[in-house]
């Protein structure tokens, strides 16, 4: 089984319920075992229209889950995209760059898949190409695996977090640490 880290985020609808439902879908997959989940973080959206301040209700709830799976990286990508669709995710026809900042009911990204390094243009990149630049990924990942080494950058998650230049707010939620178990 491969040890995998997934980033989950939602900023539409009942965000906490969306995260819980995503974890429920992962748990119900016979090829996936949930190992642990980070605390939840409230995170400022990366792009807010000019002249506007993002209302806290538009912020994301983000977390990272650690799983073990027998699915291949490509099969896991297909599975998490199925879960996103089941939770109401609709991908627009916008460019990848424009779509990157869209609001979403659920976003699930594969951050790390063991020590695999995979790059298939317009399809799958492991480790996630931007994870080292994003506080909303590194903070929860550091909750679970602070000493884990990035397989391309050869730095631990804590080292990457120490060097992070992302200035967007990432605030630990007041929710219980085992939010996913309820």
pLDDT range class, residue 79, cuts 50, 70, 90: very high
The reply to whether 109 belongs to the active site is: yes
Active-site hit among 89, 134, 143, 166: 89
pLDDT in tens, 85-122: 999 877 655 555 545 556 788 999 999 999 999 999 87
The reply to whether 89 belongs to the active site is: yes
Helices (H), 58-150: 73-86, 96-99, 135-144
List the one residue out of 55, 73, 12, 44 whose CA is nearest residue 139.
Answer: 44
Residue 95 burial (10 A CB sphere; 0-12, 13-18, 19+)? exposed
Active-site hit among 15, 21, 39, 104: 104
Q: What is the CATH number of the domain that holds 128?
A: 3.30.70.560
Global pTM reads 0.91
The chain-wide mean pLDDT, for the chain, equals: 90
pLDDT in tens, 3-36: 999 999 999 999 999 999 999 999 999 999 999 9
pLDDT range class, residue 46, cuts 50, 70, 90: confident
Neighbours of 102 (CB within 10 A): 16
- Measure CA of the first residue to CA of the last residue in the chain; give whole Å: 26
In this prediction, residue 89 carries a pLDDT of 73
Active-site hit among 21, 39, 109, 134: 109
Query: How far is Cα 157 from Cα 141, in angstroms, rounded to an integer?
Result: 7
Tokens of 149: 């080494």
Range of the domain at 155: 2-181
Query: How far is Cα 138 from Cα 146, in angstroms, rounded to an integer?
Result: 9
Crossing angle, helix 73-86 and helix 15-27, to 10 degrees? 140
Active-site hit among 21, 39, 107, 166: 107
> What is the total count of domains within the chain?
1
């Amino acid at each position: 089984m491969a040890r995998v880290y997934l980033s989950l985020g939602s900023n539409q609808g009942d965000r906490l319920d969306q995260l819980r439902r995503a974890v429920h879908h992962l748990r119900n997959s016979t090829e996936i075992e949930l190992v642990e989940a980070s605390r939840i973080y409230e995170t400022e959206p990366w792009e807010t229209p000019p002249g506007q301040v993002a209302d806290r209700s538009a912020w994301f709830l983000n977390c990272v889950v650690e799983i073990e799976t027998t699915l291949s990286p490509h099969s896991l990508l297909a599975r998490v995209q199925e879960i996103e669709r089941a939770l109401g995710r609709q991908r627009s026809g916008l460019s990848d760059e424009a779509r990157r900042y869209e609001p979403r009911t659920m976003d699930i990204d594969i951050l790390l898949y063991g020590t695999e390094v995979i790059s298939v243009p317009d399809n799958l990149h492991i480790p996630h190409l931007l994870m080292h630049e994003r506080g909303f990924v590194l903070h929860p990942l550091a909750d679970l695996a602070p000493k884990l080494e990035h397989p391309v950058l050869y730095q631990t998650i804590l080292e990457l977090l120490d060097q992070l230049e992302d200035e967007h707010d990432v605030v630990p939620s007041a929710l219980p640490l085992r939010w996913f178990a309820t």
